[in-house]
Chain A
Amino acid sequence: MEIAPGAVRDQTRQHDQQAALAALVDEYASTLYRVAFSVLRNAADAEDAVQEAFLRVLRHRDTLGEVRDHRVWLIRIVWNIVLDRKRRAKTRPETDDIADLARVLPAHGLSAEQRAAAAQHHTRVLECVEQLPAKEREVMLLSAFEELSSVEIATVLGITESSVRSRLFRARNLMADLLHHARGVK
């Protein structure tokens, strides 16, 4: 029985693509999840977003070879997905989510009172972040990822590096004002 060389080549190519995709999942699923979670702040939604991102990659797996930086490319895909989801779920009140999230944030080695104070502080910060304009908030959220440089943030957002820096500058100033005001009110 003769096997056509074209069929063998197709099978080999498919196998290579599947292997490459599996490697991407193993390497970047965690990073993508963290990026998705920082925006959606819900574990299930974040995992769904990551799965959707990899499904998109599966559909366009033929272009995998053309991608220069897989990590930034994947982060950009998941970023667009989570922004889209967040836009759709705008009607949901976020105050409870923020309070829940603040309790989830790590507070090792703290007493119960300190932990409660830390949770309050995190809640206040996250509420202030929510009050930032969208562009500044996005840059601020991405800048919290230590593995992302300003160039990579610019690539993810589709803007220039100088725009990233100026937006981050504005975001930090606004955050300082908001936090100062929040403390004054308290």
Chain B
Amino acid sequence: MIQPIPIQPNSSNIEAEETLRLLAELPAPAGLEERIHTVLKAAPVSTKILAWPVQNGEPLRSWMRGVAAAAIVSVVAGGGWAIYSRVPQAAGPKVVELPRVTGSGGFSSAGAMRTPQTLNAPSVAQAAVPQSSATAPQSASAKKPAHRRTARSTQP
């Protein structure tokens, strides 16, 4: 069910595709298949599982393979455990000792002494001197903006 892709009716395209078609139709060299067969025969088929021993020409049965595999596993695990149990474990320190910071190396204060700020008492401003009642309105009017004062003064 091959559906060839339609070619646009353009002469240059047709010429170009003709070249590519010629290229695609170039015959394969003679004896290609034989050479590939040879390469495939010479190639290692795959990674094989280790061949199991054969007894009197008869291969080991599956249950024997299982037993043998279990024996190997138990020998390896037992050997590992034997080594682990015989090696004396080093006694670790009972008290955790923090590392001492020596004078040499690292950052230093370069002889500077810290002076807490609490030694200098905070300066409190002098209490305001009580003023006479006559001067109070003047001071209140003095706080008002100048332009407002002038505006009131111009009003009739």
Name A's B-contacting residues (CB within 8 A).
1-2, 4, 6-7, 14, 21-22, 25-26, 29-30, 33-35, 37-38, 41, 43, 47, 50-51, 54-55, 58-59, 101, 104-106, 121-122, 125-126, 128-129, 140-141, 143-152, 164-165, 168-169, 172, 175-176, 179-180
A118 CB to closest chain B CB (Å) equals 9
* Pair A30/B28 contact, Cβ less than 8 Å: yes
Counting CB contacts under 8 A, is B19 at the interface? yes
Known: A58-B40, A125-B16. A105 touches B35 (CB 8 A): no
B134 CB to closest chain A CB (Å) equals 97
Name B's A-contacting residues (CB within 8 A).
1-5, 7-8, 10, 12-13, 15-17, 19-29, 32-33, 35-37, 39-40, 43, 45-46, 57-59, 61-62
A122–B17 Cα distance when bound, in Å, is 10
Known: A25-B37, A34-B24, A38-B23. A175 touches B59 (CB 8 A): no
Main secondary structure of the interface of A (DSSP, over half): helix
Partner of B13, one of A50, A146, A172: A172
Specify which chain A residues have a CB less than 8 angstroms from the CB of B3 in the assembled complex: 149-151
* Pair B27/A30 contact, Cβ less than 8 Å: yes
Known: A47-B29, A58-B40, A59-B46. 17 other contacts (CB 8 A): A1-B58, A25-B36, A26-B33, A29-B33, A34-B25, A54-B36, A105-B23, A126-B19, A126-B23, A128-B16, A144-B23, A145-B24, A149-B3, A150-B3, A164-B5, A169-B8, A176-B13
B36 CB to closest chain A CB (Å) equals 5
